Amino acid sequence: MRIRYIVVFTGAGVSRESGLPTFRDVDGLWIKYPIEEVATIDALVRNTEKVLEFYNIRRRKILEAKPNAAHYAIASLEKKYNTVVITQNIDNLHERAGSTKVIHLHGLITQNKCMCPTPHYYDIDITDDRTIDLRLGDKCEGGSQLRHNVVLFGEAVENMEIAYSEVQKADIFIVVGTSLKVYPAANLVYYTRPDAYCFCIDPDESLNLPANFCHIKSRAVKGVPWIVNFLLENPQEISSIMKEGKIVLE
């Protein structure tokens, strides 16, 4: 098969390798911060200041983090292939590693948006410490409160139709570091073409993968550079890797 189009779908397991905590692990964020208090649209309306404080903390931690080997390997695919990254992560680590086509399903925390019926989006100046935090009373030109550009529980995922379309075009579809338990994003694995080569890189043995996926049991920082090396140096080997069905790297 001639490889023209690659789509990489990433989740929290990729960002965890850069020191960012996930939500669903035993030491994840939901243990310390109940969902209903900081991550729902009702919480934003009921206690706007607390929600802003929570995402101010997350924004600062994300800005302190650095891209890891998985981010850089994914970005390097653009040297040879038309590559699109679809991510559940709200950080900008893919962009900072060099990826130029990134679709954020759950928002991008380095942006603000207003609470108008039709929101406007604003990139923050990450070099200016005065603009990083949002406070109650920070408003847009229309007079509505500014909030972080993060999709909360109870809100629609704005880019799902675009993501479905991208997956349907993929010759190679790579899933990395996602539990496949967060919907509607988890549905992406069912939108691949019948002839696409599909890989999932994750150490979790219990992932519920479609039959057309090859499971590469590995952490992102090892598994992603491994498969990217094949795609850049020996793409003809991809079909033989796919036939394995399962590969354990660690």
Catalytic residue numbers, as ranges:
106
Count of positions (residues) in the chain? 250
Could you give the CA distance from residue 72 to residue 221 in angstroms, rounded to a whole number? 10
Bridge partners for 114 per DSSP: 146
Where b means 16+ CB within 10 Å and e means fewer, 97-124 reads bebeebbbbbbbbbbbbbbeeebeeeeb
Helical residues (DSSP H) of 89-140, grouped into ranges: 93-97
Residue 199: both structure tokens together: 């890989």
Phi and psi angles of residue 96, each rounded to the nearest 5 degrees, phi first: -65, -25
Could you give the CA distance from residue 192 to residue 8 in angstroms, rounded to a whole number? 12
Phi and psi angles of residue 214, each rounded to the nearest 5 degrees, phi first: -95, 125
Q: What is the DSSP letter of 153?
A: B
